Structure 1
């Protein structure tokens, strides 16, 4: 199995996760929803066994959240998964601000290996913006954990993705303008 295959599977499962939780709560009850994180946990376990250290942390988070929901016979634990994702991404992006190159700079260098200093500064600012997004998203996702199931599903299964897409698109448009003005 290739290294990217578990990541793609985790991403696809995570995209559908809010809807799966919602339908399980409607038709299976709180006790059955606890098991929804197990496929994601197993894929993180595969990543961990293949030498990716972050896989162990994600595996542990999934197991803790699943256990919390199972022991409490409540959906609260599994509803915290989007919060944990935002916190984890905030840590990764924030860590890269303290220990460069930033995540966004690394991605930019895939396309442009000789990134000029102005590009490095720009990617650092974009990384800060993403950190802000992950903070705001995490706070809202936390608030929705305690809201009605449809509110949690709407935000974590649609609105947060929409906001993320708008941020991607807005940054791309701004970058085109920025580059045209600077001629970098």
Structure 2
């Protein structure tokens, strides 16, 4: 239940910030950012989210000191950088992030499955680079509305498309290895 609420708050962050920007000073919204990141770090107790919480804390501090919305809008880019770091590190120090996930349901993953999950991890790294770049660009150069639209809707749609596309490819790869 707590994880679901935290996920919903995380997903809604860009839309909440967009809604609140005209109503509250950025320094007050910084509390939301820091609280969200801290809750995620405490709830998951994973080092990666502690790093993200520290980054969010720095962004929140900057938003508070300068009473500026830009640091608040940089949070989605920060999340992409953190996820890129996790996925890229797993390529250097296997098993890959996707292999770890795959082994939860298929502990005896065959060699071709390991190779496939490594490639999928590389694809996700590419996604985090592109998505993070767009999140960064919309924070710097787009209107608040475009920023919220991309980071609060379009980025999630792209994630969904990547999940769906990968699932379709995975079904074909599995079928090819069953028959081949």
Task: Tell whether the structures are fold-level matches, with TM greater than 0.5.
Answer: yes
Per-residue CA distance 1:24-72 (angstroms, 9 max, x = gap):
1122243432222132133145248xx5333431221121111111111
Aligned 1:1-184 pairs, distance under 5 A: 5=2, 7-47=3-43, 52-146=46-140, 147-183=142-178
Question: Which 10-residue stretch deviates more, 29-38 or 66-75?
Answer: 29-38
- 1:13 deviates by 1.4
Aligned length: 178
Instruction: Give me the whole-angstrom Cα distance separating, in 2, the residues matched to 1:44 and 1:34.
Output: 15
Gapped regions of structure 2 (runs ≥ 5): none
- Residue 37 of structure 2 contacts residue 53 of structure 2 at CA under 8 Å; is this kept in 1? yes
Instruction: Give me the whole-angstrom Cα distance separating, in 1, the residues matched to 2:106 and 2:36.
Output: 33
- Residue 93 of structure 1 contacts residue 102 of structure 1 at CA under 8 Å; is this kept in 2? yes
- Residue 47 of structure 1 contacts residue 55 of structure 1 at CA under 8 Å; is this kept in 2? no
Q: CA RMSD in A?
A: 1.8
- 1:8 deviates by 4.1
In the superposition, the TM-score normalised over structure 2's length comes to 0.91
In the superposition, the TM-score normalised over structure 1's length comes to 0.89
